[in-house]
Amino acid sequence: MRSSQTIELKRAPALAALEHVTPGMRLGLGTGSTAKLFVDALGEKVKAGLDVVCVPTSLATEQQARALGIPLTTLDDTPALDLTVDGADEIDPALRLVKGGGGALLREKIVAGASARMIVIADESKRVDVLGRFPLPIEVVRFGAAATALRIERAAEHFGMEGPVRMRMRQTGDGPLLTDGGNLVYDGQFGEIPDPDAFGEALNAIPGVVEHGLFLGMANLALIGTPGGVEEMTR
Ligand SMILES: O=C[C@H](O)[C@H](O)[C@H](O)COP(=O)(O)O
């Protein structure tokens, strides 16, 4: 598929999500290439007079929103949001997600958790029957990271999953990627995750794991871009 076609499969759900935004809303703004298209479109609406206030999920989204003149706030000033719109790396039929391909999973999960509703926007390539094709991002504190990674591998083995847990490096090749919170990201190439709820809990129980990219029971609606139009998934 040509990249211009892929962008259109991302843009269509981003525009469809905008229809769920009403004046006065407090919004969470996601991170990644699909969320970026939503923020661009929101910026146009704000320019035309839409009154919203937004919490970005990353420094990159904050920079984009600021440049577009979108009014920003923080969760400290606005701890309860109406709606978060964000992308995903995988979506299963129960609207469980893998997120964090861009390293923003921690802020994304905090912001989505503070929101009454979460809408996921994605092209159809993100739809899977079982989570795990995309390596699972796990944010880890720097202290003792190798030991934490070992415990992550052991937890995966307990669930019958194998596969390396690799520290994510910067694309420029000069050292490990650091998140906006100053932590490392490990990507677990586990393959299919048979019980995402239990595995998520096991990961949360490991000291040194800050957060994992399994977003379970958080999304209310997914808008999926397909060549035939935007399809809706609900739970
Ligand atoms: O950390 C990044 C986020 O979870 C993104 O929302 C996710 O990786 C999807 O990004 P994209 O829309 O670029 O595929």
- Per the annotation, the verdict on 108 as an active-site residue is yes
DSSP-derived 3-state class of residue 100: coil
Q: Which atom of ligand 1 is nearest to the CA of 137?
A: 1
Residues 6 or more apart from 215 whose CB is under 8 A from it? 88, 96, 97, 98, 99, 108, 109, 112
Kindly list the domain boundaries of the chain, sorted by start residue: 3-127+217-226, 136-208
Task: Determine whether the shortest distance from the Cβ of 104 to ligand 1 is under 6 A.
Answer: yes
CATH architecture of 3-127+217-226: 3-Layer(aba) Sandwich (3.40)
**Per-residue pLDDT for 158 more than 90?**
yes
Q: Which atom of ligand 1 is nearest to the CA of 126?
A: 14
pLDDT in tens, 76-90: 999 999 999 999 999
Residue 76 backbone dihedrals phi, psi, to 5 degrees: -70, -40
79/110 Cα distance (integer angstroms): 10
pLDDT in tens, 197-234: 999 999 999 999 999 999 999 999 999 999 999 999 99
Given phi > 0 = left and psi -120 to 50 = alpha, else beta, which region is 38?
Answer: alpha
Task: Determine whether the shortest distance from the Cβ of 196 to ligand 1 is under 6 A.
Answer: no
Q: How far is the CA of 43 from the centre of ligand 1 (A)?
A: 19
pLDDT of residue 80: 98
pLDDT of residue 5: 85
87/31 Cα distance (integer angstroms): 7
**Per-residue pLDDT for 2 more than 80?**
no
pLDDT in tens, 22-79: 999 999 999 999 999 999 999 999 999 999 999 999 999 999 999 999 999 999 999 9
Same fold, 3-127+217-226 and 136-208: no
Residue 109 backbone dihedrals phi, psi, to 5 degrees: -70, -35
* CATH number for the domain whose boundaries are 136-208: 3.30.70.260
Contact assessment for residue 136 and residue 71, using Cβ atoms and an 8 Å cutoff: no
Binding residues for substrate: 31-34, 86-89, 99-102, 126
